[in-house]
């Protein structure tokens, strides 16, 4: 029996590549399934001004999730990084997490240079507060230029000479088939990734047991544990991908199967950095403990200062 599976997603080049990947995975693990793409235009896609003015952080994901809640689609495909932690999760849905992609940010420089070799005044395009804070602290001589738009739009700015370089996610470049344009993979110690970086999330209706069974082979236990820890932290800090929060959960190499979550909260210019890290068996407990450590250090005030700026 054929089973139609409607996948809601934005229709940017990166999002379309993600949908194509998911369709391939679904038909590979279930040849009777017929996946179908339900493109969703979000407020974030239509608006080119400051994101805060279209509902900010959730502008991309909530419209896509709505398609599943309304029954227009079966799966809402998101980048976990874009799912805000300061809005309630809609009742009646859950997220499945496939294997995680690379979490690194990369430099894309017009002439192939590396971050440490860039002369003063080099114009680097990025609008992510997390990247701005880390870069301002580590490389204060560079000029940060706000850029918005899809990854392919941003890459166009480097080629047109509007900026000299960009900081982008390696996972996104890979999905666009443009990984070769990265000129340096930046170590996670120097540019800690966003919570949820490189992670896709498949949001489905909780009562859709057939789909849950069908997608089970695509879910990844380690990715799920990391995503749970990182999302617990993001929720506890009421954060989102436009907040200067970085963090990364990784499995420990010991036999216990524990997970380690490292996280940092920055002031907008990176002059204040709070750091915390915990290891343990339960992702939610670890995420909550790291949040409490950061809050005890003043994370809420540091984040409030970035909301005002
Ligand atoms: N903020 C947009 C966004 N959301 C997810 C990715 C990249 C892929 C990922 O990390 O999942 C990107 C592009 C970027 O930050 O360069």
Domain-wise residue ranges, the chain:
3-99+199-219, 105-186, 236-308
**What architecture is domain 3-99+199-219?**
3-Layer(aba) Sandwich (3.40)
Is 226:249 a contact under the CB 8 Å cutoff? yes
Q: Which atom of ligand 1 is nearest to the CA of 79?
A: 11
| Topology of the domain covering 236-308 | Double Stranded RNA Binding Domain (3.30.160)
* Whether residue 44 has its Cβ less than 6 Å from ligand 1: no
* Whether residue 144 has its Cβ less than 6 Å from ligand 1: no
Does this chain's domain 105-186 share its CATH topology with 236-308? no
pLDDT per residue as tens digits for the range 185-234: 999 999 999 999 999 999 999 999 999 999 999 999 999 999 999 999 99
Is 286:195 a contact under the CB 8 Å cutoff? no
Distance CA 18, CA 12 (A): 10
CATH number of 105-186: 3.40.190.10
Residue-wise pLDDT tens for the chain (309 aa)? 668 999 999 999 999 999 999 999 999 999 999 999 999 987 666 655 555 554 555 677 999 999 999 999 999 999 999 999 988 778 899 999 999 999 999 999 999 999 999 999 999 999 999 999 999 999 999 999 999 888 889 999 999 999 999 999 999 999 999 999 999 999 999 999 999 999 999 999 999 999 999 999 999 999 999 999 999 999 999 998 889 999 999 999 877 889 999 999 999 999 999 999 999 999 999 999 999 999 999 999 999 988 766
Distance CA 271, CA 70 (A): 45
Task: Say how many Å lie between the CA of residue 81 and the centre of ligand 1.
Answer: 7
Task: Say how many Å lie between the CA of residue 172 and the centre of ligand 1.
Answer: 6
* Whether residue 195 has its Cβ less than 6 Å from ligand 1: no
Distance CA 44, CA 263 (A): 27
The ipTM assigned to this model is 0.95
The phi and psi torsions of 294 (rounded to 5 degrees) equal -70, -40
Task: Say how many Å lie between the CA of residue 215 and the centre of ligand 1.
Answer: 23
Distance CA 130, CA 246 (A): 7
**Angle made by CA atoms 15, 19, 24, in degrees to the nearest 5:** 150
């Amino acid at each position: 029996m054929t089973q139609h599976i409607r996948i809601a997603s934005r229709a940017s080049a990166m999002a379309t590549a993600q949908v194509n990947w998911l369709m391939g995975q679904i038909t590979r693990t279930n040849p009777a399934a017929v996946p179908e793409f339900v493109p969703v235009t979000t407020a974030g896609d239509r608006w080119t001004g400051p994101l805060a003015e279209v509902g900010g952080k959730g502008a991309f994901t909530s419209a896509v999730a709505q398609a599943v809640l309304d029954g227009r689609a079966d799966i809402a495909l998101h980048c976990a990084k874009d799912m805000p932690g300061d809005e309630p999760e809609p009742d009646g849905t859950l997220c499945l997490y496939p294997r995680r992609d690379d979490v690194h940010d990369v430099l894309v420089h017009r002439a192939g240079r590396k971050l440490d070799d860039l002369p003063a005044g080099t114009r680097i395009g990025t609008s992510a507060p997390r990247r701005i804070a880390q870069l301002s602290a580590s490389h204060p001589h560079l000029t940060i230029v706000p850029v918005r738009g899809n990854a392919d739009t941003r890459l166009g700015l480097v080629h047109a000479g509007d900026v000299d370089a960009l900081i982008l996610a390696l996972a996104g470049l890979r999905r666009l088939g443009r990984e070769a344009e990265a000129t340096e993979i930046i170590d996670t110690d120097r540019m800690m990734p966003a919570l949820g970086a490189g992670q896709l999330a498949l949001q489905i209706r909780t009562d859709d047991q057939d789909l849950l069974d069908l997608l089970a082979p695509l879910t990844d236990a380690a990715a799920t544990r990391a995503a749970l820890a990182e999302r617990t932290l993001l929720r506890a800090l009421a954060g989102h991908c436009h907040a200067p929060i970085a963090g990364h959960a990784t499995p420990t190499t010991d036999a216990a199967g524990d997970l380690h979550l490292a996280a940092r909260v920055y002031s907008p210019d990176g002059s204040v950095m709070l750091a915390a890290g915990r290891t343990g068996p339960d992702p939610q407990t670890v995420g909550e403990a790291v949040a409490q450590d950061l809050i005890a250090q003043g994370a809420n005030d540091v984040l409030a200062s970035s909301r005002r700026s």
